[in-house]
Amino acid sequence: MSAQETVLKKVIRPIHLWAIGVGLVISGEYFGWNYGWGVAGTIGFLIATLIITLLYITFIFSFTELTTSIPQAGGPFTYTHRAMGPFGGLVAGYATAVEFLLATPAIAFALGNYLHFLHPSLPVLGSGIAFYVLLTIINLLGIKESALFSLIITLLAVVELLIYMGIVGPSFKASNFMHNSMPAGWLGVFAALPFAIWLYVCIEGIAMVAEEVKEPSRNIPKGYISAMLTLALLAIGVMMLTGGITDWRALSAIDYPLPEAIGIVLGKQSGITKIFAGIGLFGLIASFNGIIISYSRQLFALARAGYLPDALAALSPKRQVPYVALIAGGLLGVIALYLGKTDQLVILSVMGAVVMYILSMISLFILRKKEPELERPFKAPFYPWFPGIALVLSIVSLIAIVYYNQLLALLFFSGLIIALVIFVAMGKHREPAAITPRV
C-alpha cells in the first residue's frame, strides 16, 4: 500500500473530541444502566456507579498519557503491542473489537424499541438495521462530516437530558428511591458493576481517532477530561432522579426507561412525553455514530498491522476513510442483532472493555520502565496511584462480571482462544506488526 492509502486526515479539534467522547457514551444514560436496578436496587446500584465512576476518572487520566504519547488509530492495541509484544496486542485488539462491535447492536435494539414505543407498527429489528445503514453511509462521507454530525447530535442529547432532569426532578421522592433499595445486599453491588460500566463504556474510543486530531498532545487531554466530567454529572443526575419518581422496579427491565419515566410524571398521552421519546433518539444516535467511528478505526488498525485481512485497511481515495472496515463492522453488528439480546450484548461489550482496561494500565506501567525517554505530553497524575486504582478496580469488575455471567464469559474467552490459535497457526506472532502509519 502507498503512504497515501494508510494515512488518515488530521481534522479533529477539542470540541469534536468532546462530542465524540460524550457521544460515544451518552446512550448509556438513556438505557441499559437500569438493568443494574434489577440486580442491586437503587442504593446498591448507586454504590456500584460511584465505584465505577472512580474507576473511570483514574483510568481516563491514566489512559490519556498513552493516547497522547502514542496517538495512533489502533488505540489500546497499539499501546499493548508496544509494551507486551504481539500476543498482548492481539488480546487487546480482540477485547477492544468485541467492546465496540457489540455495543452498537445493543444501541440498535434500544433505537428500535424507542421507535416502537412511538409507533408500535415499526418493527424493532428492522429499525435497528435501518440505522446501521444510514449511519454507515454518513461515516463513508468522511471523518470531518462525521465529527460535525457527532457534535450537533451530542449537543442535542445533552440538552435533552438536562430538560429531562428538569421535568422529573419536581416529582422526586426520597421514599421511592429508598424503598427496598438493596434487595440483594453487597452481592447485588458486584452483580451490578457491568451495568454501571455501561454508563461510561466506550469513552476511550477517543483514542481510535487520535491520528486524525490536530495537535494531539494538547487537544486529546481536553477532549477526554471534559467528556468524562460531563458524563459523570449526567449519569448520577439521571439515575437518582429517575429512581425517585415511582416504584423503580417498573423501570428496571425495559430499553426505554426515560420516556417511560416522563410518561409516569406527565401521562403517556401527553404531547411532551411523545416529543421527548422522539428526541430521545438523539442520544442513541450520537453513541451509535461515535462507536461506528471507533470500531472502523480499530478494524483498520488491526488490518494495517497484519492481524486482520489487508482489505480492511483500505482507505477511500477521496475521503480517506476506512470504507471496508465500516461496511464489515456494520455487517457483523447486524448479525449480532439477530443472535443476541440487549442485556447480553451489554455484558459482552463491557467484558471486552474491562479486559482492555486491565491490559492498558499494565502497559502504562511497563512503558514507564521500558521506555522512560518516550515523549509524554500528558502524564498520569498521582502516578502510580491513579493507574493502580484503575487496574485494581478493573480486575475486581472483571471477576464480578465473569462470576455472574459464566456462559457469556465462556463465549468471550472461547472467541479469544480461537483468535490466538489462528494467530499462531498463521505465524503472525513472528511477523513485525506495522503498528505505525507508513508515511
Residue 343 is assigned to a structural domain of this protein = yes
CATH number at residue 139: 1.20.1740.10
Residue 244 is assigned to a structural domain of this protein = yes
CA pair distance 210, 164, nearest whole angstrom = 33
Residue 437 is assigned to a structural domain of this protein = no
- Asked whether the beta carbons of 140 and 320 are under 8 A apart, the reply is no
Residue 98 is assigned to a structural domain of this protein = yes
Write a three-state SS string for the chain.
CCHHHHCCCCCECHHHHHHHHHHHHCHHHHCCCCHHHHHHHHHHHHHHHHHHHHHHHHHHHHHHHHHHHCCCCCCHHHHHHHHHCHHHHHHHHHHHHHHHHHHHHHHHHHHHHHHHHHCCCCCHHHHHHHHHHHHHHHHHCCHHHHHHHHHHHHHHHHHHHHHHHHHHHHHCCHHHHHCCCCCCHHHHHHHCHHHHHCCCCCHHHHHHHHHHECCHHHHHHHHHHHHHHHHHHHHHHHHHHHHCCCCHHHHCCCCCHHHHHHHHHHCCCCHHHHHHHHHCHHHHHHHHHHHHHHHHHHHHHHHHCCCCCHHHHCCCCCCCCCHHHHHHHHHHHHHHHHHCCHHHHHHHHHHHHHHHHHHHHHHHHHHHHHCCCCCCCCCCCCCCHHHHHHHHHHHHHHHHHHHHCHHHHHHHHHHHHHHHHHHHHCCHHHCCCCCCCCC
pLDDT at position 4 is 45
Residue 104 is assigned to a structural domain of this protein = yes
Residue 413 is assigned to a structural domain of this protein = yes
pLDDT at position 382 is 92
Tens place of pLDDT for every residue, the chain, 439 residues?
444 455 566 677 888 888 888 888 888 888 889 999 999 999 999 999 999 999 999 998 899 899 888 887 667 888 998 999 989 999 999 999 899 899 889 888 888 887 887 788 888 889 889 989 898 888 888 777 777 887 888 898 899 899 899 999 999 999 999 998 999 899 999 999 988 998 998 888 777 677 778 887 778 888 888 898 899 999 999 999 999 998 899 888 887 888 888 888 888 777 777 777 676 788 888 888 888 888 888 888 888 888 888 899 888 887 788 899 999 999 999 999 888 787 888 899 999 999 999 999 999 999 999 999 999 988 998 999 999 999 999 999 999 999 989 999 999 999 999 999 998 888 766 665 555 543 3
Residue 4 is assigned to a structural domain of this protein = no
Residue 8 is assigned to a structural domain of this protein = no
In this structure, is the dihedral angle defined by the CA atoms of residues 320, 323, 329 and 333, taken in order, positive or negative? positive
Neighbours of 369 (CB within 10 A): 8
User: Which structural domain range is residue 417 located in?
Assistant: 14-430
pLDDT at position 9 is 65
pLDDT at position 437 is 44
Angle at 179 between CA 178 and CA 182, to 5 degrees: 75
CA pair distance 387, 360, nearest whole angstrom = 9
Domains held by the chain: number: 1
